[in-house]
Amino acid sequence: MLATIGLLSTTFGVSVASALIPVISVEVFAIGVVLNGTDVPWWLLAAVIAAGQIGGKLLHFYAARGAIKLPGLFLSKDGSEKQPGRWRRWLEKFRTNCQRRPLWTAVVMLLSAALSVPPYAAVAVIAGWAKVSLSMFLITGFVGRFVRFGALAIAPAVIATWI
């Protein structure tokens, strides 16, 4: 029992860390846990990883909204208003689309969370900037991440039954 709690706590910590630091791979960690032969059910492992991932991505989401003050390294040096460039115009158009078409927004966020296409790290930032509702971000992100890591957790067992 204590070993299971320790494993789940470590899994949660690695999940949060991987959401914040791109070079940490929670996928590799999860595969290692599953191949090591754990007694933790696949759905519990997937839920813990999904919760950790969403917890980490919430920092990106809130930073993009301006709710978290970023260090000076990430801010404009002179603070002056710049002319909107192509990237800024695209982001403004994306923000408008998110507000006008919430179903489209939910589908894009769900697919990104599950498949990482487009990359979920970028979508988390853009969703915060575009003022996507917190509930939509949490629900689509958790469901998508649960599907992603649930599939990853059961993959070795499925492959073993085929061989």
User: With contact defined as beta carbons under 8 Å apart, do 137 and 61 qualify?
Assistant: yes
Structure tokens at 101: 């078409």
For residue 13, tell me if it sits in a domain. yes
For residue 79, tell me if it sits in a domain. no
For residue 75, tell me if it sits in a domain. no
For residue 78, tell me if it sits in a domain. no
> Which structural domain, as residue segments, surrounds residue 25?
2-68+86-162
For residue 110, tell me if it sits in a domain. yes
- pLDDT in single tens digits along all 163 residues of the chain: 788 899 999 999 999 999 999 899 999 999 999 988 888 999 999 999 999 999 999 999 999 998 887 666 555 565 555 566 887 888 788 888 888 999 999 999 999 999 998 899 999 998 998 899 999 999 999 999 999 999 999 988 788 788 8
Structure tokens at 55: 């917890």
In the chain, the number of structural domains is: 1
Q: What one-character-per-residue DSSP string does 89-111 give?
A: HHHHHHHHHHHH-HHHHHHHHHH
For residue 73, tell me if it sits in a domain. no
What pTM did the predictor assign? 0.85
